[in-house]
Amino acid sequence: MKYILKEQECGYLMKNGILKEILFAGKQNVASWRGYELKTVSMMGKVDTGGLPVEVLMQRPEFEKRVLRVQIPDSCIGFHMVNGIYREVLMDGEALYWNVFEKHEIRLVNVTGFKIEEEQVPSMYRHLIPPRLYRRIVVEEGETALLYIDGQYQEQLNCGVYYYWAYAHEISHKIYDLKVRQLDVSGQEILTADKVGVRLNMLCAYQITDPLALARKMEGVGNFLYTRLQLLAREYVGQYRLDELLAQKEEIGHFLKERMEENQEEYCVRIHNVGIKDIILPGEIRDIMNTVLVAEKKAQSNVIMRREEVASTRSLLNTARLMEENEILYRLKELEYLERICDKVGSISLSGGGNILEQLAGLALPGKQGA
C-alpha cells in the first residue's frame, strides 16, 4: 500500500504492534499484506506518540534529534517558549515537543521560593502563571503592607505591586492606610453637672505611625480611639453646668486633643486635631434659650432706638439754637423748605402785591408771617 508523507509529517511503521522504523516525507510503500501498518503524525507542536512508549521512540536517533524532551520536577513549572515567544506554563511531569519546524524551549522556574523576581519571571508574562501558584499584592499611594509568610512577619512593603510564590508557602498580608483619617463620633448623649442631657458630635483626625507595632497590639485602632474619645468627653462635660459648657465650646476641643495625645504612642497613631462639631440641646431647653435670646435682642433693639432718638433730638435742639442766633442761617433754612415744596407741587398761584419769596414763605411757615 502506498502512502505519501507531507514535509511536516512522519510515520511510525509498525508490525504486530512493534515499531520497525520511522519514516519521513515522501512516497512510502507499506506491505500491509505482510502485517505492516503506518501511523501518520504531524511534526508540529506536541509530539503524538501514536500510543507508543516514549522510551521506545527515544531509542531511535532520528526521533531523538528532532524532539525536545524535558522533565518538570514537582518544585518547578516550565515556561514554554515557541520561537522565542512565551506561549504557556507547563506543570506536567514531562514535556515532549517537535523541534523541527518550530524552535521550542522550556525554561524551568523554581516555585518553592518567596518573591517572584523580574529576572526569574518578567512582569509581562506573570499573568501566564496559574493563579493558585502565586499571590499578587498591590500597595496604593499612601499605604503600606505587612507581609507574612507561613504566619510569620517577613517585611513591610511600600507603594508598588509585588508577586510571591504561594506553592510551598502560605502568603498573607495586611494593608494599612498611612494617610490622615477622620473619625466621626456622633450623637453622644452626655449629662452636664446640672443634669441637662446634651448630644455631642465630635471629630478626630489621626494618622497611623507604626503599623507593625499596631498589628502586634490591637485590631481596629479606630474603635479604640472612638471609645477613648467618648470617655474623655463624658469626663469633661460632667464637670460643668450647661451655661458654662456653651460658653467654652472651643475649650472642649483643646482638652480632648491634649488628653488624646497622652495615649497616641500606645495606639501607634499621631493625633492631628480634635474638635466639637455640634452641641445639640433637648427640645424644651432649646425653646427656652430661643425665648431668652429673642428677649435679649428686643432689649438691645429698644436701647439702640432710644439712643438714636436722643441723638436726633439733641441734633434738632442744636440746629434750633443756631438758627435763633443767626438770622442768615434761618433764611437759608427757609429757602431749603421752599425748594422742597416747589419740587413736589405742580403749580402755585399767588395774588396781590409784595415779594414773591415772602408770600411763599408765608404759605410754608404761616406762623412766621403772622409774627
Q: Could you report the per-residue pLDDT of 28-69, keeping only the tens digit for each?
A: 888 877 888 899 999 999 999 988 999 999 999 999 999 999
Euclidean distance between CA atoms 164 and 159, whole angstroms: 16
3-state helix, strand, coil in the chain (%, to 5): 35, 35, 30
Least confident of 114-123, 137-146, 361-370: 361-370
Query: Phi-psi bin for 168: left (phi > 0), alpha (psi -120 to 50), beta?
Result: alpha
Fold of 184-281: Tetrahydropterin Synthase; Chain A (3.30.479)
pLDDT (average), residues 211-233:
90
Euclidean distance between CA atoms 237 and 279, whole angstroms: 11
Q: What are the residue boundaries of the structural domains of the chain, listed by start? A: 2-107, 127-177, 184-281, 286-325, 339-371
Mean pLDDT of the chain: 84
**By percentage, how much of the chain surpasses pLDDT 90?**
39
**By percentage, how much of the chain surpasses pLDDT 70?**
86
In this predicted model, what pLDDT tens digit does every residue of 178-197 receive, in sequence order?
999 999 988 778 888 877 77
More reliable by pLDDT, 53 or 288: 53
Euclidean distance between CA atoms 309 and 248, whole angstroms: 37
